Amino acid sequence: MSLDKELLEIIVCPKCKNDLIYEQEKERLVCIKCNVYYPVREDIPILLIDEAKPLGREYLVQ
């Protein structure tokens, strides 16, 4: 199962309010501006700033 398209259109990063990128295969929502991701557990986005995890080098902006 995956997140609803309508939900994905309205949710934003709780810290900076930037759009999030949904990575279904990794079950996470990515904020490139903050360089973090938020987990998705059982199709529920965990959008708590304390739950954010740092991204790897693949998203670093040059």
Tell me, what CATH number does 20's domain have? 2.20.25.10
- Whether 62 is in a domain gets the answer no
The mean pLDDT of the chain is 90
Please state the domain count of the chain: 1
- Whether 42 is in a domain gets the answer yes
d(CA 20, CA 32): 8
Q: Flag whether pLDDT at 62 surpasses 50.
A: no
- Whether 30 is in a domain gets the answer yes
- Whether 61 is in a domain gets the answer no
- DSSP classification of residue 5: H
Minimum mean pLDDT range among 36-40, 44-48, 58-62: 58-62
- Whether 34 is in a domain gets the answer yes
Residues in CB range of 46: below 8 A, 6 or more apart: 38, 39, 40
Predicted local confidence at residue 59, as pLDDT: 65
> Residue 23's domain spans which residues?
5-56
CB distance 38 to 47 below 8 Å: yes
Predicted local confidence at residue 35, as pLDDT: 94
